Structure 1
Amino acid sequence: MPYNIAYSHIYQLSSKLIDRGHKVIIVTHAYAGRTGVRYLTNGLKVYHVPFWVIYRETTFPTVFSFFPVFRNIVIREQIEIVHGHGSLSNLCHEAILHARTMGLRTVFTDHSLFGFSDAASILTNKLLKFTLSDVDHCICVSHTCKENTVLRASLDPLMVSVIPNAVVAENFQPLEHASSHDAPGPPHRFGPHDIIKIVVISRLFTNKGTDLLVAAIPRILASNPNVRFIIAGSGPKAIDLEQMIERNVLQEKVLLFGPVRHEEVRDVMVQGHIYLHPSLTEAFGTVIVEAASCGLYVVCTRVGGIPEVLPRHMTEFAAPEEDDIVAATERAIAALRAGKVRTELFHNQVKQMYSWTDVAQRTERVYDGISGALSHDEFYQGAGAGGAWSATRGRAGVQSFALIERLKRYYGCGIWAGKLFCLCAIIDYLLYVFLEIFAPRSGIDIARTWPKKDPVRKEVDTGMARKKSSRHRREKREE
């Protein structure tokens, strides 16, 4: 399965929510050789629905044919909240529509930025407006992403939270990692003849800045003969990189790794000293957090949500232009040679900044808010906390399940689109009534829940074990 940030986000968030005592079910499309029901680590259950994938892991839009399968899963697993991910995921949009028809609470997480002028963005934004006009709460991975989503879907900013991505820092350790208790040594300096390696790991598409990379690499190597490039990734722009290498005879200075699995990313990163990220648009940029955790100095473009991700001492920013990319990279090389950057401290700092446990706690608060576990006032009081990231904020249970209220919200989505959306909602409701009559809930077996120790009980057991261990050590000393 090709690596995607949204996949990693869903898996890590699900695992931490399970640790906190929740039951989590993932519904996605089938992959090559993987259909039906699968169990992952920690008892995470995944339904692979056999729908046709047409482009970049996006399924063919079916609108209504997914409803019988989805309803069966929801009833079988006793689902209460449906959480969709990705503006371009047809399964996500369809699941939220069907969930609202069934009277379930819904949450949507947006991971991307989109424009407003090209045809693809216009269609995507209209589809997003349809889905989010009837969603209970929305989560974005950065403040820039929030602003983009609010404008695209005409949302009330108060019903959108900002909860960032995170990384498992233990999986992205530098080659020589010092613990937080070790005193930092003197800064490492690169001599004028020492080789500095620059790493690029990215999907090779236009929006990821591959054209900038192709233009900048020959200029950087021309002025810095003791620099080497390591590039990993695949995409339609890979041929441009290969042609650039051939044209400039850079086979000995630029190494192309091709596609790498996510579990191999760390092994590629630790071979370098600088991470170059020339993206043209980015909602968050998880890969630069992974690079900093590996002890790499980050050179990145000042676009989207990237400036929100890492502190200034870990990054060298550039405008998304060829000249600025070259200048920023050369500043980073000079800083490393002068010993001005303490990259050996980055890992522990990143570990303190980003945690999936924190992401799960904040997402859990959203669930509590929309389900009524938190009162309206409590939900808003939680939003008053300060910090680099906005705390969870939203309206608890404001969206009515009544069909007439849903139709009013859909009707306001546009002169023609509003009528089409209302028609979709009515057909979906009639299909739901038909399924309730001819495929009654009593005929659907309830799945057994994976056995899980209560998190509170677990903490008590851990405390008792520590007390027993302490008492045992004390008795041994007395003997």
Structure 2
Amino acid sequence: MAAGGPARVSHSVCMVSDFFYPNMGGVESHVYQLSQCLIERGHKVLVVTHAYGRRKGVRYLTSGLKVYYLPLKVMYNQSTATTLFHSLPLLRDIFVRERVTVVHAHSSFSAMAHDALFHAKTMGLRTVFTDHSLFGFADVSSVLTNKLLTVSLCDTNHIICVSYTSKENTVLRAALDPRIVSVIPNAVDPTDFTPDPSKRDDGTITIVVVSRLVYRKGIDLLSGIIPELCQKYPELHFLVGGEGPKRIVLEEVRERYQLHDRVRLLGALEHQDVRNVLVQGHIFLNTSLTEAFCMAIVEAASCGLQVVSTKVGGIPEVLPENLIILCEPSVKSLCDGLEKAIAQLRSGTLPSPETVHNKVKTFYTWRNVAERTEKVYDRVANEVVLPMDERLDRLMSHCGPVTGYIFALFAVLNFLFLAFLRWMTPDSIIDVAIDATGPKGAWTKQCFGGKKGGVKEELPSS
């Protein structure tokens, strides 16, 4: 229990997602920061993800956060392949060993997250899902993903979205009751993203882009913006951090217009290096075609940069109007927005970076996110877990005559497989894992009786 805090129920939470450190991104950062703040509030938290290269087995991060890197095969874009049943023995063993009470899955793109929800419901555990993305309704990929989401969430206890736009999108895609969907935004650690007080004006204007270089992030728009503005403003430079298949497009633009000295492509960035890149610029540009929240613009604003962004998804909800210039997702509109920011910068009408930072650091904090997530856990802890017959009825009535019956069959097979595993290895003979989370030194005392040493703490950047 947090020292001096009010009495509260302590939960044993298992965060599950294919996306976690050492991979970098918004979901990875969200899972890590939320876990740390929940541990600070007195809860037991562990993370389950797939193996990354040689990183397999169990690792411990800051505050004793235990991470299980499972040896599951990656299929596409860091998401595991799934047959639905192959992950049950591993996940069941973890849930029992760690005495998990709440399974919290993250990201619609994560196959492991959907597997964990399915197995947790079969085991009678409470389930929570956080959706970090927006999807369409027309293309084949969206239709299939939305159908999977409908199946996965129809009997999930509670769903969290990171913006009101995201909530509306998820409710429509998965045909959910809005009353079981909450909005809890992302956050930023303001101590990690501060302005550089030693920065000097050398007469140049630097536009910073930090993003995965993929189609969804609007890199094709960026490739049209760069030559147009560089021709118009000789003092303008672009600093681009990130990696992806669209990098070749930016390299071609740089080569065609001979902009090697004005467009720097930094490649993939470690999260701890992002701040050092941001503070080199004056304006932050986001060209995303779809976003549920967009952590990058909050981090940039926290570093004191003027933000110019596309007006898509949940982005208009993130920052107040005086801290962001919103544009349509087109080259012309974004160029107009950037020119407006350049004019403000030249005239000195923009607020100082320190003023912007002091405003932004009050908007989103991980402790607030953890408090609100804790209320969701308290709510689902008091809910009744659906028995198997009601769960089958929910699947068949909610998911359509074909999909519903198919997944109802899967649920029955999953239940029988679980019964077989419990017969082979009863829950009672599975060793209970030592709780590694909690106040500093507590997990060392548990493991080694107060002796010095213990498991080496491994930071996300390692």
CA distance in 1, matches of 2:72, 2:23: 17
The alignment of Structure 1 onto Structure 2 pairs a total of residues equal to: 417
SS across alignment from 1:27: strand
- Superposed displacement of residue 101, structure 1: 0.6
**What's 1:467 paired with?**
none
Between stretches 163-172 and 437-446, larger displacement belongs to 437-446
Alignment equivalent of 2:359, drawn from 349, 370, 387: 349
> Is the contact made by 1:133 and 1:153 (CA closer than 8 Å) also made in structure 2?
yes
CA distance in 2, matches of 1:265, 1:343: 20
TM-score (norm 1): 0.85
CA distance in 2, matches of 1:437, 1:278: 54
- Superposed displacement of residue 401, structure 1: 2.1
> Is the contact made by 1:126 and 1:153 (CA closer than 8 Å) also made in structure 2?
yes
**What's 2:332 paired with?**
323
The alignment status of 1:358 with 2:368, answered yes or no, reads yes
The alignment status of 1:405 with 2:426, answered yes or no, reads no
**What's 1:13 paired with?**
34
CA distance in 2, matches of 1:153, 1:95: 18
> Is the contact made by 1:216 and 1:326 (CA closer than 8 Å) also made in structure 2?
yes
1:53-81 residue CA offsets vs partner (Å, 9 max, x unmatched): 12111001130111111111111110000
Between stretches 198-207 and 444-453, larger displacement belongs to 444-453
SS across alignment from 2:68: strand
> Is the contact made by 1:200 and 1:276 (CA closer than 8 Å) also made in structure 2?
yes
Alignment equivalent of 2:288, drawn from 262, 279, 284: 279
1:113-147 residue CA offsets vs partner (Å, 9 max, x unmatched): 01111111111111111110010000000001101
Structure 2 matches for 1:2-401, cutoff 5 A?
2-176=23-197, 194-344=203-353, 345-372=355-382, 397=383, 400-401=385-386
> Is the contact made by 1:150 and 1:157 (CA closer than 8 Å) also made in structure 2?
yes
The alignment status of 1:441 with 2:462, answered yes or no, reads no
> Is the contact made by 2:39 and 2:437 (CA closer than 8 Å) also made in structure 1?
no
Structure 1: gaps of 5 or more residues: 179-187, 373-396, 455-479
Identity among equivalent positions (%) equals 50
Letter in structure 2 aligned against 1:428:
N
CA-atom RMSD in angstroms: 1.5
> Is the contact made by 1:400 and 1:406 (CA closer than 8 Å) also made in structure 2?
no
Letter in structure 2 aligned against 1:357:
R
> Is the contact made by 1:199 and 1:274 (CA closer than 8 Å) also made in structure 2?
yes
Larger helix proportion of the pair: 1
CA distance in 2, matches of 1:11, 1:205: 24
- Superposed displacement of residue 262, structure 1: 1.0
Letter in structure 2 aligned against 1:207:
R
Letter in structure 1 aligned against 2:367:
T
Between stretches 277-286 and 252-261, larger displacement belongs to 252-261
CA distance in 2, matches of 1:451, 1:9: 18
> Is the contact made by 2:125 and 2:385 (CA closer than 8 Å) also made in structure 1?
no
CA distance in 2, matches of 1:343, 1:109: 35
Letter in structure 1 aligned against 2:231:
A
SS across alignment from 1:170: coil
1:265-302 residue CA offsets vs partner (Å, 9 max, x unmatched): 11111100000001100000000000001110000000
1:137-195 residue CA offsets vs partner (Å, 9 max, x unmatched): 000000011011001100011110000000111011111199xxxxxxxxx9x7xx921
User: Computing the radius of gyration over CA atoms, which structure comes out larger, 1 or 2?
Assistant: 1
> Is the contact made by 1:199 and 1:229 (CA closer than 8 Å) also made in structure 2?
yes
CA distance in 2, matches of 1:155, 1:401: 17
CA distance in 1, matches of 2:23, 2:204: 32
TM-score (norm 2): 0.88
1:373-395 residue CA offsets vs partner (Å, 9 max, x unmatched): xxxxxxxxxxxxxxxxxxxxxxx
> Is the contact made by 1:297 and 1:343 (CA closer than 8 Å) also made in structure 2?
no
Letter in structure 1 aligned against 2:420:
F
CA distance in 2, matches of 1:239, 1:9: 29
SS across alignment from 1:299: strand
- Superposed displacement of residue 430, structure 1: 0.8
Sort the Cα spacing of 1:451 and 1:408 in 2 relative to 1 into closer, same or farther, 3 A.
closer
- Superposed displacement of residue 8, structure 1: 0.6
> Is the contact made by 2:108 and 2:131 (CA closer than 8 Å) also made in structure 1?
yes
Letter in structure 2 aligned against 1:68:
P
Alignment equivalent of 1:420, drawn from 406, 419, 423: 406
Letter in structure 1 aligned against 2:393:
K
> Is the contact made by 1:112 and 1:145 (CA closer than 8 Å) also made in structure 2?
yes
**What's 1:462 paired with?**
none
CA distance in 2, matches of 1:446, 1:135: 26
- Superposed displacement of residue 451, structure 1: 6.2
CA distance in 2, matches of 1:292, 1:371: 37
> Is the contact made by 2:44 and 2:438 (CA closer than 8 Å) also made in structure 1?
no
> Is the contact made by 1:37 and 1:47 (CA closer than 8 Å) also made in structure 2?
yes
Letter in structure 1 aligned against 2:423:
I
- Superposed displacement of residue 343, structure 1: 3.6
> Is the contact made by 1:209 and 1:280 (CA closer than 8 Å) also made in structure 2?
yes
Letter in structure 1 aligned against 2:392:
L
- Superposed displacement of residue 439, structure 1: 1.2
